[in-house]
């Protein structure tokens, strides 16, 4: 259990945990803490944060709000973890952070040159990111997205899908024997359930509809070159073993729905808008590439060698 908690803390600090603001205290514990004498501390009473205070480190308060905002944990990572053990460990992490904050505040003053330089760089980076985010978020309108999807749906290449089932075995002879059984009228589903070593064996080997690029090459080539309603008379070998294949249906694939294509279309439109915006900035501001001028003015390598040779001859 302790190792599980350590792993959770490492994941949280590494920024892996997402999507779940944990409510660590039960309602009863929350009410008891809210009504306790510790909340009457003058420093706590003067706080503008009305969240319950969990701890105090020098001049810093650690509140329930701080805890919930600092640590967001994927519920899947909490399987088998006792929250009663995890909770104090997370509070301890915040205490350690505040200890460092307090020590850093004493050791590094606001007029520290290194701090100023770092703050300047951070401020520039933040402004750049906010600016780009604003450009990206405003780049795509509903109308543009609808037009992009219409163009995609109209121009998407025609593609075929195959509905097939298979029986996967380890050796060629077994596969040949199964083909003979099928030719003698035995049921494909029953044979797949009995012999197939693939994950679809229990469901009769049914693979559903698939596109050519969704299967390994030998299997795809065989399935797409076989007529619907046909059991292939030769087994197909792949890295997984030997396949007995029956092609059930073929159809033209439909283009992705709007919702299925939306994310990729949005990304494409944003990339296009950003590229156009960057080109506009290049047109707006003068750009002089001194390094290119220096390269043009520098003598060619052959000229340098010739000059050096003449100097040696003299």
Residues 110-129: pLDDT tens digits?
888 998 999 999 999 999 99
Statement: 160-252 belongs to CATH 3.10.50.40: yes
What does the longest C-alpha to C-alpha distance in the chain come to? 98
State both tokens at 11.
């994941």
- C-alpha separations of 75 from 8, 69, 89, 312 in Å: 11, 16, 17, 77
Query: Is residue 199 classed exposed, middle or buried when 0-12, 13-18 and 19+ CB atoms within 10 A define those classes?
Result: exposed
Residues of the chain with CATH 3.10.50.40: 160-252
The CA radius of gyration of the chain, in Å to the nearest whole number, is: 34
What pLDDT, on the 0 to 100 scale, is given for residue 67? 82
Burial readout 26-65 (b: 16 or more C-beta within 10 A, e: otherwise): eeeeeeeeeeeeeeeeeeeeeeeeebbbbbebeebbbbbe
Q: At what angle do helices 142-155 and 258-284 cross, to 10 degrees?
A: 110
Higher pLDDT, 7 or 63: 63
Q: What is the pTM of this model?
A: 0.47
What pLDDT, on the 0 to 100 scale, is given for residue 90? 86
Residue 289 has pLDDT above 80, yes or no: yes
What pLDDT, on the 0 to 100 scale, is given for residue 102? 87
Tens digits of per-residue pLDDT, 15-71? Answer: 334 333 345 555 555 555 555 545 556 555 555 555 788 888 888 888 888 888 887
Tens digits of per-residue pLDDT, 222-260? Answer: 999 999 999 999 999 999 999 999 999 999 888 889 998
């Amino acid at each position: 259990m302790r190792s599980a908690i350590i792993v959770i803390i490492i994941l949280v600090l590494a920024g892996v945990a997402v999507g779940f603001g944990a409510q660590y205290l039960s309602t009863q514990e929350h009410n008891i803490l809210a009504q306790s004498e510790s909340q009457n501390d003058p420093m706590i009473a003067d706080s503008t944060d009305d969240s319950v205070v969990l701890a105090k480190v020098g001049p810093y308060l650690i509140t329930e709000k701080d805890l919930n905002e600092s640590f967001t944990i994927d519920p899947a990572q909490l399987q088998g973890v006792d929250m009663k053990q995890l909770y104090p460990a997370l509070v301890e992490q915040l205490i350690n952070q505040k200890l460092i904050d307090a020590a850093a505040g004493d050791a590094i003053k606001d007029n520290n040159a290194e701090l100023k330089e770092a703050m300047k760089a951070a401020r520039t980076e933040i402004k750049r990111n906010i600016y780009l985010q604003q450009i990206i978020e405003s780049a795509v309108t509903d109308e543009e997205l609808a037009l992009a999807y219409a163009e995609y749906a109209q121009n998407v290449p025609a593609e075929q899908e195959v509905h097939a089932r298979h029986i996967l075995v380890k050796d060629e002879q077994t596969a040949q024997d199964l083909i003979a059984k099928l030719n003698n009228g035995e049921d494909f589903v029953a044979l797949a359930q009995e012999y197939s070593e693939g994950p679809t064996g229990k469901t009769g080997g049914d693979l559903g509809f698939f596109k050519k690029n969704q299967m390994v090459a030998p299997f795809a080539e065989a399935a797409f070159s076989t007529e619907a309603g046909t059991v292939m008379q030769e087994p197909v070998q792949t890295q997984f073993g030997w396949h007995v294949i029956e092609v059930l249906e073929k159809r033209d694939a439909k283009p992705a729905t709007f919702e299925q294509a939306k994310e990729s279309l949005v990304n494409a439109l944003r990339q296009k808008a950003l590229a156009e915006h960057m080109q506009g900035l290049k047109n707006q501001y003068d750009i002089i590439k001194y390094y290119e001028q220096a390269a043009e003015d520098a003598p060619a390598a052959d000229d340098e060698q010739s000059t050096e040779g003449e100097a040696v001859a003299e």
